[in-house]
Amino acid sequence: MSSQTKGILIQAVLGAVLISILMIPFQGLTPLAPYSAMLILPIMLFFTLQAPPKALLGMFLSFACGVGWAGLFLLVKDVLPGVPFELMMGVGVAVVIFLVLSVHPILLGRTPFGLVPAVLLGLIESLLVTMVVPMLVDGAPELNLLWLLVVFGYGCLMTLILVAVQDRLISAVLGTTWRSAPTEDAPSSQVPATVPTRPAASEAS
């Protein structure tokens, strides 16, 4: 079994254990235990983007922008009560998505607010929350836009802890540097850093 395969298997075990453990404080200290599955979304987004750990702040800020766009959309919807719901959701959401896909990469692409997938996730999650809340049964905890930021932020914190712990443990077990997320010395996720070798004398000549 190769070192990379061993590392991935260890990473899978650590991921399953750490994610489960890190969910416990959120479930115990907030009234939103039924929404615990949403904590996985930042982790999924982080590894899908192949992002370095320092990108977590930008990921959170971009997500917050998406929540802000949703809040703006809801404000406009409330001041236009005569517009049919279907038209507002169809045309209105299309306009907001166009603004997200244009404003963030063009004007904010070099800032922590330019991570478009995180912005879109914040927008869509916010709209889903506002549409699902009225359908909750009596006594069920309501997830508002502020709590949505708390959930995503806690998920980002879980991601940071997960990466830090598993990289240290896997590196210790394998005896080599392991990076779950890209860095300058290991640009690909789940690939141990390799020391560059000098070309042989015959190749150099």
d(CA 104, CA 111): 9
* Measured distance between the N- and C-terminal CA atoms of the chain, rounded to whole angstroms: 36
Instruction: Label residue 92 by pLDDT band (50, 70, 90).
Output: confident
**For residue range 41-64, what is the model confidence (pLDDT) as tens digits?**
999 999 888 888 889 999 999 999
CA angle 191, 164, 169 (to 5 degrees): 70
What mean pLDDT comes out for the span 12-28? 93
Query: Position 136: which residue type?
Result: L
Q: With a cut of 70, say whether residue 90 has pLDDT above it.
A: yes
For the chain, give the mean pLDDT: 84
Q: What is the pTM of this model?
A: 0.79
